[in-house]
Structure 1
Amino acid sequence: MNNKLLRVGTIYLPVTNVERSADWYESKLGAVVTYKDKDKAIINLADISFFLVKSAPEQNANFYDIYGDERFSLTFEVNGLKALETIYHDFHEKGVTIGVIENRGHIGRNFVFYDPDGNKFDVWSELSPSYKGRN
């Protein structure tokens, strides 16, 4: 028996309005809503289940580093710079709050985006080698 963690199955995100957030993730990011009630919604996005959980207005999934900079806790990957630029322009056209495409000094490029509750996410232009090998 192999006793190790195999994958991330579910990520929980705080939201103030479950209905609005589920609709936003579906219409802006292409998520599939599989369950919804007044306190939570389950969406599938990027091969992961996300639980959108009704939370207090001041809650979000971001954190601050030692220098006081707000950080995201999740990076989505796309397959190459062209894919990154395409999704960046798609998000812009859909009215998603986005940052600029950045060179952070490592391979590829990134940009950040926010959901309606201020949850901050990153998008990176490089697929992880283990994932790229599966496709």
Structure 2
Amino acid sequence: MNEKLWRVGTTYIPVTNVDQSADWYVEKLGAELGFIDKDKAIVNLADQSIFLVKAAENQSLNFIDSYGNERFSLTFEVNGMDALEKFHYDFIRKGMKVGEIEDRGHAGRNFVFEDIDGNMFDVWSELSIAFKEKHFKKA
């Protein structure tokens, strides 16, 4: 097969209250609301459509790793340490649940934050090389 998967276009996130979650993603993360009804909201964030889907209680994107630690399933990338520190400070100022900035032994630094349903997300200070080449072309 010569075809390939080109990109991740949509992520589905379980939420308990569609209206409250949509407001949170717009207010806290700067997402743009594209659609909302009683079962789902579609927000645009980080060049992706995110469906906030009404789910049963205690559902999340999180998983438990082999050491028993609850982990995130998505990492957002920002352009450098200054941007990472700005987001970290801004998220704390907005009253979000935010972890410390961490050195995980690889390039850059990271921190974890949660939405109002406890879905965990990671933020990394390094943009991927392919993304930089595509969006920051030299003139």
Q: TM-score per shorter chain, which class? A: over 0.9
Q: Which amino acid aligns with 2:36?
A: K
Report the CA distance between 1:134 and its aligned residue: 1.5
Percent identity between the two aligned chains: 65
Q: What does the per-residue CA deviation read over 1:59-91, in whole Å, with 9 as the maximum and x for residues that have no partner? A: 000000111110100000000000000011111
Q: Aligned residue for 2:121?
A: 121
1:26 aligns with 2:26: yes
State the secondary structure of the residue aligned to 2:50.
strand
Q: Aligned residue for 1:57?
A: 57
Report the CA distance between 1:127 and its aligned residue: 0.1
Q: Which amino acid aligns with 2:122?
A: D
1:43 aligns with 2:38: no
Give unpaired runs (5+ residues) of structure 1: none
1:1-135 correspondence to structure 2 within 5 Å? 2-135=2-135
State the secondary structure of the residue aligned to 1:11.
strand
Report the CA distance between 1:22 and its aligned residue: 0.1
Measure, in 2, the Cα distance between the counterparts of 1:2 and 1:89.
Answer: 45
Measure, in 2, the Cα distance between the counterparts of 1:87 and 1:66.
Answer: 30
Measure, in 2, the Cα distance between the counterparts of 1:87 and 1:103.
Answer: 16
Measure, in 2, the Cα distance between the counterparts of 1:74 and 1:33.
Answer: 20
Measure, in 2, the Cα distance between the counterparts of 1:25 and 1:37.
Answer: 16
Report the CA distance between 1:2 and its aligned residue: 4.3
**Structure 1 ranges of 4+ moved more than 6 A:** none
Measure, in 2, the Cα distance between the counterparts of 1:64 and 1:45.
Answer: 26
Q: Scaled by the length of structure 1, what TM-score is found?
A: 0.98
- Aligned-residue CA RMSD in angstroms? 0.9
Report the CA distance between 1:57 and its aligned residue: 1.3
Q: Which amino acid aligns with 1:55?
A: A
Q: Which amino acid aligns with 1:97?
A: K
Count of aligned residue pairs for this structure pair: 135
Give unpaired runs (5+ residues) of structure 2: none
